[in-house]
Amino acid sequence: MSVQELIDISRLYGSNPAYVIAGGGNTSFKEGATLFVKGSGTSLGDISAEGFVKMDRAKLARIWEKEYPHDEDQREAAVLADMMAAKQRGEESKRPSVETLLHDLLPFTFVVHTHPSLVNGLTCSQDGETAARKLFGETCLWIPITNPGYILSAAVKKAADAYRVRTGKPADLIFLQNHGVFVGADSIEEIKAIYTKILAVLDQKIARKPDFSGKIGVYGDSADIARLLAACAGQNFRVAFERNAEFARLTGTGADFAPVSSAFTPDHIVYSGSDPLFITIDDTKGLPEQVRDAWKRHLDKTGRAPKIAAVQGRGIFGIGTSEKTASLAIELFTDTAKVAAYSESFGGPRFMTADKIDFINNWEMEKYRSKVVEKP
Ligand SMILES: [Zn+2]
């Protein structure tokens, strides 16, 4: 067991879009008193030894003995400070993953956390918890929707401790509602076996897979609409466009768009926003006014510019401060469409709640992460 194995398994899942998109997910390895955990702002797909932060496990364990302020912002700041102080010498310039505490508390040599679309079809569905128990039995833990950071780690700790008392074993498969999955094992072979099983079981259960065929980057007046949206967004904004079979279906009417009209997970919020804008188009009326009016109404309602505009009869527009962030918005929206389609097999989609969405929109850590991605 070695750091090299950690690098190998991180790259394996990090470069597979079925598991990880946009640098999401994180991994760790424990060796004696040291936890090697993915650094914030690094991507699993091309990670090297420097991408991991060496943490002092004794110092991390001490975090659980401390009392933190009740106020959310104060608490997260205090925990972050203690986490930064738990870095080993020589790691000063790095920032450990926000899920570090969670990695440390699972008593396995390797922990691999990802956000696979198939898994999120389950974790972002109405009957997800019941379906998870039916499909994976008592071997899995289900954690209800929780704000990320310390609060999530505390919720998992409580559930994992109870699980251990109940079963005599540590929990090695943990589903996080509206987020993803944690898998732990003492060898990378076991990690792979658990993941292969999860995805095979879910794949077999999914009744409808979305159809992304017929992908095109220009359709009818899409270039005009892209220019109008860029003008609404402001100077230096870029707009990307995509139409495919699934996007054509989703942009039929407002009702068709409903299953993808909000956010499923924190990653979706960070890259494609929490409030995609659906623009109804009346072809007998002028296009510019309709786009501008819809944009203005959206701003008035949400206080935020959209990162995704779905235009009736056209397709999906991604809006960002660079070509890269504009296409990332579409990439994450594509994942939203997958999650929505898969969730149909588990009672239909279930978005994050409004308070959890607000938390992410205001979260300092996520701002940091999206800023890292926006760097050229
Ligand atoms: Zn995560």
Cα of 18 from ligand 1 centre, angstroms: 15
Cα of 118 from ligand 1 centre, angstroms: 15
**Higher-pLDDT residue of 33, 363:** 33
Cα of 114 from ligand 1 centre, angstroms: 6
Say what the pLDDT of residue 313 is. Answer: 97
Cα of 319 from ligand 1 centre, angstroms: 24
Cα of 25 from ligand 1 centre, angstroms: 5
Rama region for 291: left / alpha / beta (φ>0; ψ in -120 to 50; rest): alpha
Q: Give CA–CA dist 210/317, Å, rounded.
A: 18
Work out the angle at residue 209's Cα, subtended by the Cα atoms of residues 208 and 214, and round it to the nearest 5 degrees. 130
Say what the pLDDT of residue 76 is. Answer: 87
Residue-wise pLDDT tens digits, 173-208: 999 999 999 999 999 999 999 999 999 999 999 999
Judge whether residue 373 has pLDDT over 80. no
Cα of 180 from ligand 1 centre, angstroms: 6
Please return the burial class of 278, using the count of CB atoms within 10 Å of its CB with bins 0-12, 13-18 and 19+: buried
Find tokens 């926003």 and name the residue: 273
Residue-wise pLDDT tens digits, 282-320: 999 999 999 999 999 999 999 999 999 999 999 999 999
Cα of 170 from ligand 1 centre, angstroms: 20
For range 359-374, the mean pLDDT: 62
Q: Residues 153, 28: contact at Cβ < 8 Å?
A: no
| Side chain identity at residue 342, one-letter code | Y
Cα of 151 from ligand 1 centre, angstroms: 13
Judge whether residue 371 has pLDDT over 90. no
Residue 175 backbone dihedrals phi, psi, to 5 degrees: -90, 130
Cα of 265 from ligand 1 centre, angstroms: 9
Averaged pLDDT of the chain: 94
Say what the pLDDT of residue 365 is. Answer: 53
Q: Give CA–CA dist 140/94, Å, rounded.
A: 33
For range 25-50, the mean pLDDT: 95
State the pLDDT confidence band at 376, using cuts at 50, 70 and 90. very low
How would you classify the pairing of strands 308-311 and 277-279? parallel
Cα of 24 from ligand 1 centre, angstroms: 7
For range 249-256, the mean pLDDT: 98
Residue-wise pLDDT tens digits, 84-124: 999 999 999 999 998 999 999 999 999 999 999 999 999 99
Say what the pLDDT of residue 310 is. Answer: 98
b/e code 94-131 from CB counts within 10 Å (16+ = b): bbbbbbbbbbbbbebbbbbbbbbbbbbbbbbbeebbeb
Say what the pLDDT of residue 230 is. Answer: 97
Cα of 121 from ligand 1 centre, angstroms: 15
**Higher-pLDDT residue of 363, 208:** 208
Say what the pLDDT of residue 374 is. Answer: 43
Cα of 172 from ligand 1 centre, angstroms: 16
pTM of the model: 0.94
* Long-range contacts at 153-157 (CB < 8 A, ≥ 24 apart): 153/99, 153/101, 153/102, 153/105, 156/102, 156/105, 156/182, 157/64, 157/105
State the pLDDT confidence band at 155, using cuts at 50, 70 and 90. very high
Say what the pLDDT of residue 59 is. Answer: 98
Cα of 204 from ligand 1 centre, angstroms: 24
Say what the pLDDT of residue 139 is. Answer: 80
CB contact set of 246 (below 8 Å; sequence gap of 6+): 210, 211, 212, 337, 341
Cα of 115 from ligand 1 centre, angstroms: 6
Instruction: Identify the helix (H) or strand (E) that includes residue 10.
Output: helix 3-14
Cα of 210 from ligand 1 centre, angstroms: 24
Judge whether residue 375 has pLDDT over 60. no
Cα of 128 from ligand 1 centre, angstroms: 18
Say what the pLDDT of residue 6 is. Answer: 97
- pLDDT above 70 coverage of the chain, percent: 96
Cα of 214 from ligand 1 centre, angstroms: 31
Cα of 232 from ligand 1 centre, angstroms: 32
For range 340-360, the mean pLDDT: 96
